[in-house]
Each structure stands twice: as C-alpha cells, then as structure tokens.
Structure 1
Amino acid sequence: MKTPPVVSKDEWDAARERLLVKEKELTRARDALAAQRRRMPWLAVEEDYEFEGPRGRVRLVDLFEGRRQLVVYRAFFEPGVHGWPDHACVGCSMMADQMEDVSHLNARDTTLALVSRAPQPDIERLKARMGWKMPWYTLTDGFDADFDVDQWHGTNAFIRDGHRVFRTYFINGRGDEALGTAWAYLDMTALGRQEEWEDSPEGYPQTKPYEWWNWHDAYGDTAAPPAGEEQVRRAVDSGLLPG
C-alpha cells in the first residue's frame, strides 16, 4: 500500500482547503439537482395497488398514513433471495440498517415504507430480530414490476392529492448509496426539505431552517429548541444549509 506523504499542519490545512472548494461545488450541484427534481413532471398512478400490512390489506394511498408524501424502498426479502428466511439480501439489509428514525421524515409530512414479497409474519420476525421499526408491507400484485423494482432494488417517491397518487421520482443502482438520512430522502421528493433557502417553485410549503428539527422522541412537543449561531455555522460547513 503506497500511502500519501506525511506533511506539516500548514500543508495539511492548505490541502484540505483546496478540497473544500470542490466539496462546496459538489454540495451546490446536489442542491441544484434536488431543485430540478422538485420541478419534475408528475405521473398519475391509475391502478389501485394493494399490499398486506400488519393489520390486513391496504392500498397504496394507505401507505401514506395520512401524510402528503411517500417514499417506498423495494427490499428483497422473499424465497429465492440469499439469506432467506433468516435475512433479507445483504444490500437491502444494509439499506435498512442505515435508515434513521422515520419520525424526522414524518415531521415533514413524509412517510417512509419498505415493500417485499415475504409474508407479514416473516417481515415482523425479521424486524424484531434486527431492531427495525419502519413500516414494511407485503407486495400482492404487479407494483414492483410497474415501478421498476421487480428485478432490482430501488426507491420511488410519491405525492398525494386527496385520494389521487402521483409518482414524482425514482432512484436505483448506485443512487441508493446516498440514501438513509432524512435529508437524502427529502431531497428526492417533490416538496424537498421544505425550508426557505431551497430553490422551489412558487407556493411550495417552506419554513425556516431548524424550525421543525427536533429529537426523534419529541416531535409531539411543538417547542423545538432554537438553534444558536454556532449550530448554524456548523450546518453551513457540513452542507445542510447553503454557504
């Protein structure tokens, strides 16, 4: 293994500053891409897809749990998949392990759910074993084929207008690598993070940054802690807010 040179602190700081320029370019490019996603045309979902849930049959619109947006990850946990019946596939399991508490997404009127062809008793057993708490439904029809996830994993985003459902975006392949955080999932949705700094079409819901942030067990408390200047500076440096 040929390692990089060992340098002084001043040289290291200078090298890091050079890379930081490129990192900020990447952050702004990612923000611009998310802005384009928010302007993607919508595709009406005409078929009334059904799933098996812990309490019986539900429709696609029910997966929203009353919220406006829905993100659906197709996880391969079913007969014929490596790991069955003890585990979902290795890649899908890594995705599930990286998914943070769904309450952060719920706070932005967005639901995250997984779908597979495994029966509900197997899904519930796996969730209990792995400590996963996200909603997970059983596919019962051609939803996976119709939304490009019958042969490979992928993540679809939907939005709801009453009982009408629209497909707004789709990420698969290596695009899934970036998913797992609330930011990444919100960035692929039609409404985005819904914060004032975002470049969104006129009339989209937006609030001040940090106004909705909270601990995952405290979203029932509307008095979220205010952010100080140091928190704002760190968020700019990390790319969560534009700098």
Structure 2
Amino acid sequence: MTTHMTATRKEWLAARLELLDAEKALTRRSDELARQRQALPWVRVDKPYRFDTDQGSVTLAELFQGRSQLLVYHFMFGPDYQAGCPSCSAIADGFNGVVVHLANHDVTLIAVSRAPLATLQAYKRRMGWTFPWVSEPDSDFTADFNVYFTEAQQRAGLVDYNYQRGGHAMDATQVPEPVARFAASCGTDAPTYSRDRPGLSAFVLEDGVVYHSYSTYARGLDGLWGMYQWLDRAPKGRNETGPWWRRHDEYD
C-alpha cells in the first residue's frame, strides 16, 4: 500500500487546477526573466581570442559560422583530465538534437574546453556527439569569462565564480566527496579538477563587432539539464540525496 496521499479523480483535478495556476505564474515569471536577460547591456569584446577547431585555428567572430548569435557552453575538460566532467557530459547529452534547430534560428551553439583538440575529439567519438566542440588552449577566454582559475588563485582564495568571491572555492584540505569522486573519474585530483568550472556565455555579432551579452554559472545552468526537466515531472521528482548520474556509457 502506498504511503503517498491518494484521492478521487475529482479531488485530483481540483488539486491539479490549483497547481496549474502556480505553473502559469512561473511561466509568466520565466518569460519576464528572459526579457530581462535580453535587455542586458552588451560589452564589446576586443581581445583577439583564438580557438582550435576541426577546421583549424579561428577567431571568436569566426565561431559564429555566419550567424549573428553564439551560445558557448563552458565544458569542464582541463588539459590534465583524461575524460570530461560527468555533470557537463550529462548536460551535453542534450546538445546534438538542439544544435540544428538553433542553427536554423540564427544561433550557433558550441562547447569550449581547455583540453587539446585531439583529446576533445576522442571523447566526442566515445560519447557519440556531433555538436561543435573547440579547444581554447591558452586559457585566456575561459579565464576571462570566469570558468578557469590558476592554482595560485585557488590557493589564495581569489576565485570569482558565479559572481561572488570564493564561490565554490576548493583546495586540497576541503574536498566534498562528490567532487573527489568526479575528479577521480576524470583521471585527476580534486583541486586540479575544480580549477575548471561550468558555465554558459552568450555573444552577438553586429557589423563585424563581437559583444558579450550574458553569462550564467552553477545552478543557473539547471535549465540545460534535459534529464532534470523530465525528472521534475516524474512522480518522485529528482529523488536524490547527492550526485547520482554517470556518463551515459557507464551505467550498469
């Protein structure tokens, strides 16, 4: 016998309609937040970033691939990793089907990591992914957009992540168990693993000039986790006490 509350169909419908009012309010609030994001001022990007791609070395403007908008997923895959971050991998599992729709709506979606291009290409083959993924080996781009920090910054507590100093900071003496586990699964130690962080940055190209419009990090990426959008609608919800996911080819 279930311990969850049960009801008649009539009682369920009344409760569902009450929930629907809350869902509609959340949808309207989400629409308003989207408008606020789009109203943010743009910041001109003049630094000459370069990226290693399947087609050779390109500039930030060339990453747009002829479109006017660029969404960059900052994928945690440092040069010392042997495999990509499991969390970033779970998010990236949703990219293949989305990228073609975005491309046909004037938006290019790519992933950027600091690992060498050949390493990223091999992991891409392992995961069965086809979305564009480029390497930014000199780290200026990832550092400037607050998703990579040096060992010296880490040791000094000078990590500015998710718009706060020391946010999610980590050193060898204070390592949460999930971080240690994820680091080991990437073939590295926790401090090295945590110098790279996840994020999303948006850019626009107008009259040959690139502007930065938006970045988000940490829980700001929740909407990109396709599996969580489904779990939030499942009877038991997320039903978790900690990180449970693995790379999709590592489940039993």
Please, what TM-score do these two structures have when normalized by structure 2? 0.67
Q: Which residue of 2 aligns with 1:165?
A: 210
Deviates more, 1:63-72 or 1:99-108: 99-108
Match of 1:95 in 2: 91
* AA matched with 1:143: F
Rounded Cα–Cα distance in structure 2 between residues aligned with 1:70 and 1:3: 48
Does 2:107 correspond to 1:110?
yes
Where does 1:120-199 land on structure 2 (aligned, <5 Å)? 120-141=117-138, 142-150=140-148, 151-179=196-224
Give the C-alpha shift of residue 180 in structure 1.
5.7
Partners of 1:74 and 1:52 in 2: CA distance: 15
Map 1:1-243; keep pairs closer than 5 Å.
3-80=3-80, 84-85=81-82, 87-99=83-95, 100-141=97-138, 142-150=140-148, 151-179=196-224
2:124 & 2:21 partners in 1: Cα distance? 42
Q: CA deviation at 1:55?
A: 2.2
How far did residue 101 of structure 1 move?
A: 3.2
Aligned-partner SS, 2:6: coil
> Secondary structure of the equivalent of 1:62?
helix
| Residue identity (%) | 41
Higher normalized helix content (fraction of residues): 2
Length, aligned pairs only = 177
The alpha-carbon distance between structure 1 residues 179 and 48, as it changes in their structure 2 partners (threshold 3 A), is: same
Amino acid at match of 2:57: R
C-alpha distance in 2 between matches for 1:120 and 1:79: 10
One-letter amino acid matched to 1:161: E
TM-score (ref. length: structure 1): 0.69
Instruction: Give CA deviations for 1:192-213 in whole Å, capped at 9, x if unaligned.
Output: xxxxxxxxxxxxxxxxxxxxxx
Hey, what's the Cα distance between the residues in 2 that align with 1:38 and 1:6? 43
Partner of 1:210: none
* CA–CA distance in structure 2, aligned partners of residues 78 and 143 of structure 1: 13
In 2, Cα distance between equivalents of 1:67 and 1:166: 14
**Which residue does 1:214 correspond to in 2?**
none
Deviation, structure 1 residue 155 = 0.2
1:44: how far off? 0.5
Secondary structure of the equivalent of 1:105? Answer: helix
Residues 79 and 116 in structure 2, CA contact (< 8 A), matched pair in contact too: no
Segments of structure 2 that go 5 or more residues without pairing to the other structure are 149-195, 230-252
SS in 2 for 1:78: coil
Return the alpha-carbon distance in structure 1 between the equivalents of residues 3 and 212 of structure 2. Answer: 47
Which portions of structure 1, spanning 4 or more consecutive aligned residues, are displaced by more than 3 angstroms? Answer: none
- 1:167-199 per-residue CA deviation (whole Å, 9 max, x = no partner) reads 001111111010267xx9xxxxxxxxxxxxxxx
